[in-house]
Structure 1
Amino acid sequence: MSASAAMSAAVPPTGPLKVLVVKTSSMGDVVHALAAVTDLLTARPGSTVDWLVEKPFAALPGLHPGVRRVLPIAWRKWRKALGQRATWALMGEARAALQAERYDLVVDLQGLLLKSVLWGRQAHGPLVGYDWGSAREPLASLFYDRKVKVPRTLHAVERSRRLMAAAAGYAMPTRPADFGIRPRATPAWLPPLPAVALIPCASRPEKLWPEDHWMAVGQRFKALGLTPVVVWGSPDEQARAERIAAGCGGVVPPFLSVQDMGEVLGRCRAAVGLDTGFSHLAAAFALPTVGIYCDHEPGLVGITGPAWVRSLGGRGQRPSLAEVMALVDEQIAGLAI
């Protein structure tokens, strides 16, 4: 029996399911997994979905109307303080919340021993995940009740969708990924003119793109009547954002939570961003998005979404201004301005 056939036999062939998704981090990875929820709810109408996630990213699953309950944990923090009684008390509270429901399926879309399997095993329900050759950490597969073979050469979004389809017993959809998220409000500070998001945020200096290049991109949008909104997430990034905004007539928002950022991106017309979770979130909101990769291969984690998206660059291949501007012009050509 094939892996998918075995999986299908293990769950009711029709009808709604109660599913716990385990995808704890990071921002881009959580965004990528949202499409699997849309697939599940389309194939199995009436299903309920809960989501276990690291607290800093808890707002992301909540943007999907099909996610009923978000269960935040702080394992990244807790694992560094296991000698403290308070840590065990907090983990006990998280475990109690996790075990308050019984699930038809607990689907580990992460595939990591300590980040996801450790917590997924504590939920009430059969734990499903990638097999030995598919998981990011093969040892994780030893702890699954059911295993699914999914080629590691596929994009992260495709892998999540295939695992969910096999786990829940429906055919892998042929339609493009639908992340299902919608903005919930319009921030009061957002300019009334049409806006475009510039996302020069990066976790490491190697990922940065020159500030004067960002200014040139912002000026191109500004000339068309689109106000550049230059986002940031740390004090260093704020200073950089302010310099870029000053050079292109853009605006710099106040500090934004992940949910706030979702509301901002959901109201913009387009986005240009570095290899960061905010760029993936923009694409998931169906914004035409250009992803700039300066120290990582886009390959299996490139920008993806239901609208026009492009990724360029790679490790040791910082894109030139001319290359990015060519894509920006292509991006602009598709906008109704």
Structure 2
Amino acid sequence: MPEVLLIKTSSMGDVIHNLPVATDILAKFPNASIDWVVEESFSEIPVMHPGVKNVIPVAIRRWRKHLLEKKTRSEFSIFRERISEKRYDIVLDTQGLLKSAALAKFAHGAICGYDADSAREPLACLFYDRKLQVGRDLHAVTRNRLLAAKCMGYSLEDLPLDYGIAMQIEKMPERAIFLHATSRDDKLWPEERWVELGRKLEMQIHLPWGSARERERSERLSGLIPGSVVPDRLGLRNAAELISGAAIAVGVD
């Protein structure tokens, strides 16, 4: 039974893009045991995959703001204990960054990652025991899957793309979700366009949010779109269920 540790810490989209790797590995090695290192704020995502046994949260984003604090040292010590609890057959870093490669070094096992021409940060390959070439022009999902396949010696030819998410979904054909938030202001869609679309759709519009600023935008839009709803702040799993159950989801990022 191969013991596999996946290193894909952030951001949200990158973590989601890595889910098919777990599905592929289990399709080829049904008895594999898969653990996953991920940023604490995205830890709900790998939990949604029934094939991921243990999720090991890390808090690089938070720790680097408080490097000298006792709490940071204590939490990092706990992380080191968890990641080194057992020996892995494969430690697979699909992130290809210096930070992810450095985290992989705390695990016990052979580290596999991209070679210098394939990694997003070429110096990361200095931490790897096996360095594999994967085209940088490929989609992120394909890159992740190919790296795992090359590392573990299987082909993707007979493997359909499957994110493996297991959720109980209540279908709501009269519901539309507007995902107006984005990582940069220059990617925002004008609010008047959201209002125009919301008024044209004869559906109940839900306007989820994740920050105080996004909540303010949701409330502004809701005030101009009749019958729309601003839900309470949702965890990632609840947000995924809300989106999956909707008839329409509109986003910008």
> Structures share a fold, TM > 0.5?
yes
The reply on whether 1:111 has 2:96 as its aligned counterpart is yes
Offset of 1:29 from its aligned partner? Answer: 0.5
SS at match of 2:177: strand
Q: 1:173 to 1:215 in 2, by over 3 A?
A: farther
Aligned match of 1:239: 216
| 2:191 matched residue in structure 1 | 211
- In the other structure, the counterpart of 1:268 is 246
Q: Give the match for residue 3 of structure 1.
A: none
Superposed, 1:1-337 pairs within 5 Å as 16-114=1-99, 116-173=100-157, 175-184=159-168, 194-221=174-201, 223=202, 226-248=203-225, 249-275=227-253
Q: How far apart in 1 are the matches of 2:86 and 2:196?
A: 52
1:58-89 deviation line (CA, Å, top 9, x unaligned) = 00000111111111011112123222233212
Given that residues 172 and 245 in structure 2 are in contact (C-alpha distance below 8 angstroms), is that contact kept between their aligned partners in structure 1? no
Worse-superposed segment, 174-183 or 199-208: 174-183
% of aligned pairs identical? 42
Structure ranking higher on relative contact order (CA contacts 8 Å, 6+ apart): 2
Name the amino acid aligned to 2:191: E
Structure 2: state its 5+ residue gaps: none
Q: Distance in 2 between matches of 1:270 and 1:124?
A: 45
Question: Number of paired residues?
Answer: 252
How much has 1:194 moved relative to structure 2?
3.1
Is the Cα contact below 8 Å between 1:39 and 1:173 reproduced in 2?
A: no
Give the CA RMSD over aligned residues. 1.8
Opposite residue 123 of structure 1, the aligned amino acid is: A
Q: CA deviation at 1:181?
A: 0.8
Structure 1 residue 244: Cα displacement: 2.0
**Secondary structure of 2:26 counterpart:** helix
**By how many angstroms is 1:185 displaced?**
6.7
User: Residues 153-192 of structure 1: CA distance to partner in whole angstroms, max 9, x if unpaired?
Assistant: 0011110010111111111235542111132476xxxx96
Give 3-state SS (helix, strand or coil) of 2:53's partner.
strand
CA contact (8 A) 1:41 1:66 kept: yes
**Structure 1 residue 125, shift from structure 2 partner:** 1.0
CA distance in 1, matches of 2:79, 2:168: 27
Do the aligned residues in 2 keep the contact of 1:227 with 1:250 (CA within 8 Å)? Answer: yes
Q: Give me the whole-angstrom Cα distance separating, in 2, the residues matched to 1:78 and 1:43.
A: 37
For 1:118-156, what per-residue CA distance to the aligned partner results, in whole angstroms no more than 9, with x for missing partners?
111111111100001000000001110101100000011
Please say if residues 24 and 159 of structure 2, whose CA atoms lie closer than 8 Å, have aligned partners that are also in contact.
no
Please tell me whether the aligned partners of residues 172 and 247 of structure 2 are also in contact (alpha carbons under 8 angstroms): no
**1:256 aligns to what SS in structure 2?**
coil
Partner amino acid for 2:156?
M
**Cα deviation per residue 1:221-262 (whole Å; 9 max; x = unaligned)?**
3x2xx3221111111211211222333332111111222212
Indicate the structure with greater strand content: 2
TM-score (norm 2): 0.93
After superposition, the Cα gap between the structure-2 partners of 1:175 and 1:219, relative to the gap in structure 1 and judged at 3 Å, is farther
Asked if the contact 1:182/1:266 (under 8 Å) is kept, the reply is no
CA distance in 2 between partners of 1:83 and 1:237 (Å): 32
Q: Distance in 2 between matches of 1:208 and 1:171?
A: 40
Change (3 A) 1:39 1:239: same
TM-score normalised by structure 1 residue count: 0.71
> For residues 276-312 of structure 1, what are the alpha-carbon distances to aligned partners after superposition, in whole Å with 9 as ceiling and x for unaligned?
xxxxxxxxxxxxxxxxxxxxxxxxxxxxxxxxxxxxx
Cα distance in 2 for residues equivalent to 1:274 and 1:22 = 27
Q: Distance in 1 between matches of 2:246 and 2:172?
A: 11
On the 8 A contact 1:20/1:51 being kept in 2, the answer is yes
